[in-house]
Structures are given as structure tokens and as C-alpha cells.
């Protein structure tokens, strides 16, 4: 399968292509993807600019119908699209189908959001004048996404951008062009006018600067690494381009002495290792109070060792492979670093040989970590979890907040007052009580604070803030 760019309503090939390999089985070539030039990205921006005037004034019923059609088709084809996603990214088929479902539901949700009234009529202090406050489309939006949620993250940026009357240029991550192409193909048949949705495939380092700094781009929505996010923010310093960055996390999961052990272990295993730990909301910093520490870590280690690592399409698999060679190297590098730093590797951390040649890694659990260790501070983005010991509730809270990040945080406890205190004092954009830090609903706001995020939150009703601009009009009849 050859994945092409989509510009101004047409499929456009490139001279160069990249292979799209299955991380569960390197002999399986999923497809090959066009590598767009910066000039093609410029063309995409020009097409989006030209389409903006008409689309920004399009009837909301038209937008709602289109988004609903897209959402229904995604849901109807969840098994097939999930299979493609699992093949190219490596999460398990179950996880991949869940992600596809979520993408479809997001489109259906924003189909409805397009219809919801979003203005205010205010009496003026002056006679004969009405004041109208409205939310207007912003213009051309560049949407740049990472590889770990190949269809859900594009969906949660594209759907609101289109629902609120913007035109987009979408650049998916290099590793996952197949799911992006499948989504673009659905959008190409949805009834969108030419130029409203465009996609360029290829290198972020080459296309990114064009997509972010072009004067015709009004807004940039990015999810990816902290380093790239900061680079984009720096490049846009001094401009008035709107910017929304969703970057890393080092999400604490606090386990207090009165926690239900089974619930806490489940939250830790799910949060730390599912999706191969490749989630910005992964529970990679598990903080356990002394009174329950040994019981909890023993149970966590047993549960971790029971996880079956294998081919993403195998029904028996709990944890798929790491997404690519460089991420595997990074994970193994952190395992070595954790040992050097003096953390105790309770299990895992070694490369596994499975029936097919893929990037398999045994989930790694580090105990006795100190807060300042790099393994406990930096986002690893793999199946590597760290456990820190806390003296009491105050110390647990202090440790939980002792990273620069602030995306998601969790606490496991049966005490209502402890849950209330941690919910209020954990410094994160999302807080989970007795459930994993990862795994969120599609219809409510998502986002972090501090080094994790910049700009308005995404999803749910929060999405409107970034993808619309306020306008206050004074009207004398």
C-alpha cells in the first residue's frame, strides 16, 4: 500500500518514500509512505487558506453531517482500522480497536458540538446598541501529531478544528502513516470542500518549520515530545500564532496505606505498562507509603511478571512491542541508567525473543528509587516504571509533585478525606482516584499544567477555546 499526501482535494505522491514496518514482525511491510517536500506543505497551506472563507461561513448542519458521517464510518470499520493500527504501531489489537472506537466517538461528539449555540447577546450600556459576543473560526490550523495514538490524537484535533469552521493541514508522525492515511481517506469522501482538509506525510524536521511558522497559519496544535514542543514555542516566540502544546508527563500514582491492594495493583499495571507504557499519561512514578510498600510491591511485581509480551495481533498478548528501534534503545538505555543510579530492578528490562522478530521488551519495574534519579524524573515513554517509598501522606504528596510535569496524577485510597486532599493538592491537569493515570473519556477536557502543556486544554467542551477566537460586536440598529 502506498500512502500519499492529500492536498486541495487530490492525492499527491512524492518522489521519495519511507517503509512502514510492523514492530511486532519486522518482515511485515505494512506499506510505504510519501515523504512530502516543504514546498508541498506550502501548497497545502495555500489550499487551506483559499478554502477558509467559504468553510468558515458554511452551515453548521453541513459540518455536523460531515463529522457524523466520518464518525460512523470509523466506528463501523473499527476491526479493520484497529488491525491496521495495531500492525503499524504495535499496541494490542484490543487496545487498537478501543482507540479506533474512541476516534469515531470523538467525531460524533464534535458533530454535535458544531450545532451547539456559542454566543452571548448582552445589553449595551449605551441606548440603541446590542452587544454580541461570538466564537469565530481562527483560520488555517496546522495539526502535528505523535505516533502513540495514530488515530485518536488526530481525531481529537481535526474534529473540533473542522467543527468550528477552520481549515487544516495535518502532519502525522513518520511512524504511523497508515492510520493517518485511512483517516484522510475517510475524510476525503465525507463531503468536505476541497482544501478544507489537507494532509502532508513526511519528516517533522523538514515540514514542521513550514507548518508552524508560515504567516498564513493562524494556529498550531501539537502533541509530541517536550523537546520538539519547546522548539516550536521558541520558533513562534514574538508572533501571534495561537499555540497548543501537549507534551510529556511523569505521572505519579500514589498508593496510600488504606488502599485496596487489588485496585491499586491494577491501576499501576494498567497505567504503567498497557499500550507498552507509550502514553503521555503513563503511571511511571509510583509512590507508595511505607505501611503498605512491601505488600504492594510484591503484588505489583507478580502482576508485572504475569504480563504476556508478544505480537500485537495475538489474542493472548497483554503488551505489544515497543514502537521502533530508537524507542527500544532509549528504553534499554534508561534500564541501564536506573541500575547505575542505584535503583533496584525487581523484574524485566531485557529484550525478549518472540516467535517473530520485533522490538519486544519485558516490562521493567524499578524499586527503591530516589525522587531525583533521572529514571524517576524523565519521561521514558516505554514499559519502565519506578517505585518511590514515602514516609507518610505529606511525603507522598511532596514526592508526587516533585517533577516539572503536570499532566495526570492518581491516588489509591479508601479514605474520602485523603482522596479529597490529594485531588486538590496534586499538581496536574487530570487527577484519578482509584484508577490508572492513563485512560480517559472522550467527551471531557484533557490536558496538563506546568511543563506538560501549553495553551488551552483539548477535547470535550474545552476544545472550543483553542479552535475559536472571541469577537465582541456592537450593533446599532
Q: Per CB under 6 A, does 224 bind ligand ADP? A: yes
Among 55, 107, 110, 147, binds ligand ADP (CB under 6 A): 147
Distance separating alpha carbons of residues 204 and 474, to the nearest angstrom? 43
**Whether residue 246 lies in the annotated active site:** yes
Q: x/- contact string, 162-201, with ligand ADP (CB under 6 A)? A: ---------x-xx---------------------------
Q: Which of 94, 208, 60 is nearest to 144 (CA)?
A: 208
Q: Per CB under 6 A, does 5 bind ligand ADP? A: no
Question: Could you say which residues in the range 335-364 bind ligand ADP, by CB under 6 A?
Answer: none
Q: Per CB under 6 A, does 239 bind ligand ADP? A: no
Distances (CA, A) of 311 to 184, 324, 353: 27, 14, 11
Between 229 and 410, name the residue whose CB sits nearer to ligand ADP. 229
Burial class of 263 by CB neighbour count within 10 A (0 to 12, 13 to 18, 19+): middle
Q: Which of 233, 216, 387 is nearest to 297 (CA)?
A: 387
| Span near ligand ADP by CB under 6 A; candidates 55-63, 140-148, 190-198, 344-352 | 140-148
Q: Which of 49, 322, 339, 27 is nearest to 168 (CA)?
A: 49
Grid coordinates representing 117 are 449555540
Distance separating alpha carbons of residues 222 and 247, to the nearest angstrom? 8
Distance separating alpha carbons of residues 169 and 151, to the nearest angstrom? 15
| Catalytic residue chosen out of the listed positions 246, 379, 458, 465 | 246
The site that binds ligand ADP (CB under 6 A) totals a number of residues, namely 17
Among 145, 179, 244, 317, binds ligand ADP (CB under 6 A): 145
Q: Per CB under 6 A, does 37 bind ligand ADP? A: no
- Give the three-state DSSP class for 372: coil
Nearest approach, Cβ of 375 to ligand ADP (angstroms)? 18
Cell 497505567, residue? 271
Nearest approach, Cβ of 442 to ligand ADP (angstroms)? 21
Between 236 and 263, name the residue whose CB sits nearer to ligand ADP. 236
Distances (CA, A) of 106 to 176, 371, 436, 460: 20, 37, 21, 9
Q: Per CB under 6 A, does 232 bind ligand ADP? A: yes
Q: Per CB under 6 A, does 244 bind ligand ADP? A: no
Q: Per CB under 6 A, does 228 bind ligand ADP? A: yes
Question: Could you say which residues in the range 445-464 bind ligand ADP, by CB under 6 A?
Answer: none
Q: Per CB under 6 A, does 225 bind ligand ADP? A: yes
Distance separating alpha carbons of residues 214 and 267, to the nearest angstrom? 43
Residues that bind ligand ADP (CB under 6 A): 144-147, 171, 173-174, 204-205, 208-209, 212, 224-225, 228, 231-232
Amino acid at each position: 500500500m502506498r500512502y500519499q499526501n492529500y492536498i486541495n482535494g487530490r492525492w499527491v505522491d512524492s518522489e521519495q518514500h519511507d517503509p512502514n514496518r510492523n514492530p511486532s514482525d519486522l518482515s511485515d511491510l505494512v506499506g510505504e509512505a510519501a515523504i512530502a517536500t516543504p514546498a508541498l506543505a506550502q501548497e497545502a497551506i495555500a489550499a487551506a487558506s483559499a478554502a477558509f472563507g467559504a468553510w468558515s461561513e458554511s452551515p453548521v448542519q453541513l459540518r455536523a453531517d460531515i463529522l457524523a458521517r466520518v464518525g460512523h464510518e470509523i466506528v463501523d470499520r473499527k476491526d479493520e482500522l484497529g488491525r491496521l493500527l495495531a500492525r503499524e504501531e504495535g499496541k494490542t489489537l484490543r487496545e487498537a480497536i478501543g482507540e479506533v472506537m474512541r476516534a469515531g466517538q470523538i467525531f460524533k461528539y464534535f458533530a454535535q458540538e458544531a450545532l451547539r449555540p456559542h454566543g452571548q447577546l448582552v445589553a449595551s450600556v449605551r441606548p440603541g446598541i446590542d452587544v454580541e459576543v461570538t466564537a469565530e473560526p481562527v483560520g488555517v490550523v496546522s495539526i502535528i501529531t505523535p505516533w502513540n495514538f495514530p488515530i485518536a490524537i488526530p481525531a481529537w484535533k481535526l474534529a473540533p478544528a473542522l467543527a468550528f469552521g477552520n481549515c487544516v493541514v495535518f502532519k502525522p508522525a513518520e511512524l504511523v502513516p497508515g492510520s493517518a492515511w485511512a483517516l484522510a481517506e475517510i475524510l476525503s469522501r465525507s463531503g468536505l470542500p476541497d482544501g478544507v482538509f489537507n494532509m502532508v506525510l513526511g519528516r517533522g524536521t523538514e515540514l514542521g518549520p513550514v507548518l508552524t511558522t508560515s504567516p498564513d497559519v493562524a494556529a498550531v496544535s501539537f502533541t509530541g515530545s517536550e523537546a520538539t514542543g519547546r522548539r516550536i514555542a521558541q520558533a513562534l516566540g514574538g508572533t501571534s500564532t495561537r499555540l497548543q502544546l501537549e507534551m510529556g508527563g511523569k505521572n505519579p500514582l500514589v498508593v496510600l496505606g488504606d488502599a485496596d491492594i487489588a485496585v491499586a495493583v491494577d491501576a499501576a499495571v494498567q497505567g504503567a505498562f498497557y499500550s507498552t507504557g507509550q502514553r503521555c499519561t503513563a503511571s511511571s512514578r509510583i509512590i507508595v507509603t511505607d505501611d503498605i510498600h512491601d505488600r504492594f510491591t510484591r503484588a505489583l511485581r507478580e502482576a508485572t511478571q504475569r504480563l504476556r509480551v508478544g505480537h500485537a495481533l495475538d489474542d493472548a498478548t497483554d503488551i505489544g512491542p515497543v514502537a521502533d528501534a530508537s524507542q527500544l534503545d532509549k528504553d534499554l538505555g534508561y534500564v541501564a541508567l536506573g541500575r547505575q543510579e542505584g535503583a533496584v530492578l525487581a523484574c524485566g528490562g531485557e529484550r525478549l525473543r518472540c516467535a517473530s522478530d520485533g522490538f519486544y521488551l519485558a516490562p521493567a519495574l524499578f524499586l527503591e528509587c530516589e525522587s531525583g534519579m533521572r529514571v524517576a524524573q524523565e519521561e521514558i515513554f516505554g514499559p519502565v516504571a519506578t517505585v518511590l517509598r514515602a514516609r507518610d501522606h505529606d511525603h507522598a504528596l511532596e514526592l508526587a509533585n516533585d517533577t516539572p510535569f503536570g499532566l495526570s496524577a492518581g491516588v489509591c485510597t479508601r479514605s474520602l478525606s485523603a482522596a479529597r486532599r490529594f485531588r486538590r493538592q496534586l499538581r496536574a491537569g487530570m487527577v484519578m482516584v482509584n484508577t490508572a493515570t492513563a485512560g480517559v473519556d472522550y467527551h471531557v477536557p484533557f490536558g496538563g499544567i506546568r511543563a506538560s502543556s501549553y495553551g488551552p486544554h483539548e477535547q470535550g467542551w474545552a476544545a472550543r477555546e483553542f479552535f475559536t477566537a472571541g469577537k465582541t460586536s456592537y450593533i446599532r440598529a
